[in-house]
Amino acid sequence: MLFDLTPLPAGPVALEQALEALTDDQLVALARNVRLVIDPSKRISPRQQMARALAVRTGLGRAEAWTASERALVAQLVLARGRLFCDELEHAQRLGEQGWIFSVRDEERTQLVMPLAFQLTLPWIERESPRSARVLLAQTSDANVNLLARHFQPRAIGLPRALALEPVLGALVDPGSVRGLMGELGPAETQVLRGVVSRGGEVDTEELLDIERQPLRLQTTTGATRARSGVSFELERRGLLLPLPPNRHCLPSEVLGVVAERQLQRLNARRSASLAALADRDEQPSRAQYSLDVAPLAVAISLVARHKRPARRSVGTPKSLIKSLAKQFGADVAAVELVAALCRKIGLWEPIDVVPSMSFGQLGRALFETWKDGAVWDEGRLVAEIQRAGKGTRQPSPGSVVRDVVIEALRAVATDAWVPYALLQQYVFGDVRLLGLDSQQTRFARRTSLEVVAVAEIFDRVLFQSLFALGALDVAEAEPDAEQPGPLVRLNRRGLSFVSDEPTEVVSRAHFVDDHTIAVGSADSLAALLALSDLVEVGDLTGGLNLLLSSHLVEAKLSAGADPHELEQRISAVCPPSSQLADILFHAGERLQPVQFVPCSGFVWLDDPRLLQEVRSKRALAALFVEPSPPGGLLVAADVPWDRLVRRCRAAGIDVRRDEQGTARASASARSASKRTPVVSPGRRISQSS
């Protein structure tokens, strides 16, 4: 059940604002769902009591009880700033009953709303910027929370942390509110703010004191510290600069975008000139290295990996498996490592019933989108697979922004012409988001005990490793007499469809090239292909995906006891079997007869056909045995004890005995065998005694 807040103004929603929009009946129902007793004798209103009770719920503890679909819905809501239009409300019902989310009904659609207080209780979410205001506010100290609360709501005393930070988060996610806060600053505060922006939006205490030109240095065990006054203190009081333990000071990404607007305009003017130069270039190299579609390699890796030792979900892909797969398919180790990590993320290594429902032709785009999200692969780390990092250090590095800037640059070029590497690098490095990125990478490496990866190296890894391995980029070398020597790159047609969100064409179906080779088409289901993992071998990958389905593999499965009808269904889900395979499966089905397993406790030998028919005709005796039984006797039912069998058979005139070897035999008892012959006297009729 979702509690309706219609009508509700646009923008971020505070928890008390959402509760004020509820009717009295809805408020009582919500209190009953969360098992809250509202005390009318308290000085605060029932809605304020409800807000404080809901705000102290631990978001992480509650999230552990949520289903995977509910976690995904909450993640989408957080990434959408707490408001999300949703057509499927099935997974929102349980969250709505507990008051985590509410609904606002439009004329045609329903919008889900999550109050700001609940967003502040949730941990970091994949694909979320680690320097967003929500993430930074969740890490700030209690002393800074009190400082922010006194500025944004001076009369609020003793509020829970989430409610105290609600107005701060609401102001920081609204660009208009951020501009208003910046309008309150003096020239000195503005100068410090721009100095922090020039260093990438994150500085340590020593650097901040240098920007402020403060000569005083107070040293502690964690480094330099400062007095609770001065220019930077005014920024922290307004939430424009957030201190983080032990000695970091960060601009929220929402504030960074507003502060750097003017600087961004100047950089965009220079980037426009670089873009014009890129558009005018049309090199024609004599030799080039063209990338291949990543989908055949991804399916081949998944087919083979399903039969090897599975990788645990919480750790990275084993290096031994990566090297084995790279050697088997003749691919680059780094490319195989990237593709394997992406395949694991979208579920290609999971059981068949949870493999995503997509076609083979849609796999390349799905892998590209998963890589672009940045939750699996991070070129800003020396070891790019994030699952290899410790659980506490899996947030994306600052250098992951280079991936987004490169994709935007390639989307801006939007042509299949060859582009000089140097011009593309100049265009990318002119983005404001890359200002001070080297120093951010150094701090990140120091904080996580990793090696530093320079921004130029991240740019090269995105281009020549990731995009090339995903089949989106071609690489060449300029001619010796070219105006701009060095490497050339080109976004091929496949890459253009990835960055421009063009729909994927699904045109071909799988078919047998010969009696043993299946040429996979773009319209084939991934689940159907992966279901053949124990029947096929991977063939050539250069011109597409070819699977080898030989007769000896099918015969080996049949000899191991596989059902021929089930094998035929799995093969037919991809394409009709060849004539040779169809004959093998048909004859195997003829030789097999249906068999049923029936438990029994023993066997009684009974050679007399007349007595056997008598046992089967009597209901009380027939219940003791299993029908049909083999010739020469009867199978005793599993739940029939020996004494009951002997007693009931003796009552019916049948004697059941066991010999020394334990063999049970049945015969007519002596009383039944010596039946008297009827005697007839004149004038009197005598019947045969029983």
User: DSSP letters of 258-317?
Assistant: HHTHHHHHHHHHHHHHHHHHHHH--B--S-EEPPPPHHHHHHHHHHHHTTSPPPPTTSPP
| Predicted TM-score (pTM) of this structure | 0.71
Res 424: pLDDT: 85
Judge if the upstream peptide bond of residue 285 is cis by omega within 30 degrees of 0.
Answer: no
pLDDT in tens, 400-423: 889 988 988 888 776 677 888 888
Which carries the bigger pLDDT value, residue 588 or residue 233? 233
Res 228: pLDDT: 67
Which carries the bigger pLDDT value, residue 367 or residue 260? 367
Query: Reading across the β-sheet that carries 248-250, which strands appear in turn?
Result: 202-204, 248-250, 242-244
Tell me the pLDDT band of 681, cut-offs 50, 70 and 90.
very low
| Long-range pairs for 74-77: beta carbons < 8 A, 24 or more residues apart | 74/100, 74/101, 74/114, 74/122, 75/125, 75/126, 75/127, 77/101, 77/112, 77/114, 77/119
For the purposes of burial, counting CB atoms within 10 Å of the CB of 31, is it exposed (0-12), middle (13-18) or buried (19 or more)? middle
Tell me the pLDDT band of 677, cut-offs 50, 70 and 90.
very low
Max avg pLDDT among 100-104, 391-395, 447-451, 592-596: 100-104
* Local structure of residue 172 (DSSP, 8 states): H
- Distances in Å between the Cα of 211 and the Cα atoms of 1, 193, 206, 321, 561 are 53, 9, 9, 50, 76
Residue 273 has pLDDT above 50, yes or no: yes
Res 466: pLDDT: 94
Residue 282 has pLDDT above 70, yes or no: no
Res 218: pLDDT: 66
Res 477: pLDDT: 86
Res 654: pLDDT: 83
Mean pLDDT of 504-528: 84
CA angle 180/240/85 to nearest 5° reads 75
What is the 3-class SS of 97-137, one letter each residue?
HCCCCEEEECCCCEEEECCHHHHHCCCCCCCCCCCCHHHHH
Structure tokens at 270: 């220079």
- The radius of gyration of the chain's CA atoms, rounded to the nearest angstrom, is 37
Cβ neighbour number for residue 620 with a 10 Å cutoff: 10
C-alpha torsion angle, residues 515, 521, 526, 528 (rounded to 10):
-40
Half-sphere exposure of 425 (CA within 13 A, CB side): 17
Return the amino acid letter for 83. R
The torsion region of residue 442 among left (phi > 0), alpha (psi -120 to 50) and beta comes to alpha
Cα 632 to Cα 605: distance, rounded to the nearest angstrom: 6
Res 311: pLDDT: 67
Tell me the pLDDT band of 294, cut-offs 50, 70 and 90.
very high
Half-sphere exposure of 148 (CA within 13 A, CB side): 30
Structure tokens at 91: 């997974």
Residue 134 has pLDDT above 80, yes or no: yes
From the list 411, 423, 413, the residue with the least C-alpha distance to 478 is 423
Cα 271 to Cα 365: distance, rounded to the nearest angstrom: 28
Structure tokens at 258: 């507003």
Max avg pLDDT among 135-149, 267-281, 504-518, 655-669: 135-149
Res 276: pLDDT: 64
Which carries the bigger pLDDT value, residue 441 or residue 308? 441
Residue 468 has pLDDT above 50, yes or no: yes
Res 679: pLDDT: 36
Mean pLDDT of 389-400: 81
Which carries the bigger pLDDT value, residue 322 or residue 482? 322
List of residues 6+ apart from 349 with CB closer than 8 A? 302, 305, 306, 310, 311, 343
Tell me the pLDDT band of 213, cut-offs 50, 70 and 90.
confident
List of residues 6+ apart from 361 with CB closer than 8 A? 295, 504, 505, 506, 507, 521, 522, 523
Res 690: pLDDT: 32
Residues present in the chain in total: 690
Query: For all residues of the chain together, what is the average pLDDT?
Result: 82
Which carries the bigger pLDDT value, residue 675 or residue 670? 670
Q: Is 338 helix (H, G, I), strand (E, B) or coil?
A: helix
